[in-house]
Amino acid sequence: MAFRDSTNKTPMRDICCQLNDISITAANKTPNSALRASCSLLSQKTPNLNASVSYRKSKGGLKKRDVTPSRNPNFSGIGEGDRFIPNRSATQFEFANHCLVNHNSQSESILNLSSSAPNSPSKAEREMKMQLMRAKSANEVSGNEERILCYKKGQAPPAPFGHMNQPKVLYTNTLPNPSGSVRKGLRHIPTSPERILDAPNYMDDYYLNLIDWGNDNVIAVALTYSLYLWNAGSGEIDTLFDLPEERGVFITSVRWAGEGSFLAVGLSDGQIRLFDPTRANAMLRTMHTQINRVGCLAWRHHILSAGCRSGRIHHHDVRVATHHVGRFENHTQEVCGLQWSPDGRYLASGGGDNLVNIWDPNMITADEPAPIYTFSDHLASVKAIAFNPQLSNSLATGGGTTDRTIKFWNLSTGTLCHSEQTDSQVYSD
């Protein structure tokens, strides 16, 4: 019987050696420790795997990442690899949805052999697939239907309506119009009159106000001794009344009431006549309190204010028999401009003394009324007066020949906001 070399490693010899080691170790430890060691020995199935685990635990940390090199040599991360985030534009969700939806209709498409027909379902389906499978870049700029750059002036392709992908149209000469409205052009100011009316015997006097346009689209025009009404809508012309020429009294001012169809007419002898052109007997009443001509008129509800040649402003209540209710006096020359604010808070008056006075309506019945403000910035007579319809505290005044400016005032503070040079006298009717 041949003896076996003791240096050869056999399974039984390895087990015997390990049992001897366990018995030697168990002699120095408690029985429980020996039992745990034997259990750990029996549970070892893959020595290499346990060895690697023990090796990792012995190092006490994670290995350096080997997947993606880093510029930082001291970078330490996990060793299982990077997280993969797919590009959504390359997933072709449209094509996948198309395949799922048309899965049941593939059998019908196979039976159709006329794929060369212009309107065949198989050809349309193939074209749709080719369009969905067309390669696209991340910025969607590789389409053949779009021109990226243009080297000729004015030849750039316009962006399609509602286009939201900015990189797709890199250069364009027009901006998309989301509202679809037509671009507003320049305002056209006519250089020739639309209608020319003959006005013989029209008095050329800067201080008189002989034309007024009413809310009913009717223009009242005074031609010395006669008053005409022209309907701008129908073109009809009517004569309201005539004055006898032998008396020498002529018309000096006309003014429509802001509310209603009443027309006030001032005469050169100081009379004020009130008319209702819609009635057969048009003249309603006559008011006479002074002998100077009435150059301008202004309405505030039922109060009619009249500017006279004496520099005074008389106020009349047209509802009552005793119509004269008060007067303002601060101008030294004829009052040629008179205007109430839209809300009735202010009365602005301009005169031949180059002054602009701002009055409070609560001072009408006062014994000694005084203006709120007096502006003396104009260098000529002030006839053109207008309030801002949206802002009652904003006033514009225009001067005569030697002034030629339009000045804007803030009546809340009594200050001059702006002065515009017109190079011509400012006139209004």
278-331 residue pLDDT tens: 988 899 999 998 889 999 999 999 999 999 999 999 999 999 999 999 999 999
Structure tokens, 420: 């515009």
Does residue 305 sit within a domain?
Answer: yes
Does residue 121 sit within a domain?
Answer: no
Does residue 389 sit within a domain?
Answer: yes
C-alpha distances (whole Å) from 382 to each of 221, 294, 337, 339, 377 are 22, 16, 7, 12, 10
Structure tokens, 358: 């701002």
Number of residues in the chain = 429
pTM of the model: 0.58
Which 8-state DSSP code applies to residue 57?
Answer: H
Task: For residue 172, name the pLDDT band (cuts at 50, 70, 90).
Answer: very low
pLDDT at 168 over 50: no
Cα–Cα distance for residue pair 249/268, rounded to 1 Å: 6
Looking at every residue in the chain, the average pLDDT score rounds to 77
**Predicted local confidence at residue 305, as pLDDT:** 97
Cα–Cα distance for residue pair 251/268, rounded to 1 Å: 6
Does residue 334 sit within a domain?
Answer: yes
* For range 145-168, the mean pLDDT: 53
- Of all residues in the chain, the percent with pLDDT exceeding 70 is 60
Structure tokens, 93: 């969700």
Does residue 342 sit within a domain?
Answer: yes
Q: Which of 45-54, 214-223, 301-310 has the least mean pLDDT?
A: 45-54
**Predicted local confidence at residue 50, as pLDDT:** 46
The owner of tokens 């050809």 is 123
Residue 340's CATH number: 2.130.10.10
Does residue 34 sit within a domain?
Answer: no
Does residue 133 sit within a domain?
Answer: no
* For range 365-385, the mean pLDDT: 95
Task: For residue 259, name the pLDDT band (cuts at 50, 70, 90).
Answer: confident
Of the ranges 58-72, 78-92, 306-320, the best mean pLDDT one:
306-320
Instruction: Write out pLDDT tens, residues 14-35.
Output: 665 565 555 544 444 455 544 4
Amino acid letter, residue 126:
R
Domain count, the chain: 1
Does residue 314 sit within a domain?
Answer: yes
Determine the structural domain holding residue 257 and report its residue range.
Answer: 245-421
Count of CB atoms within 10 A of residue 23's CB?
10
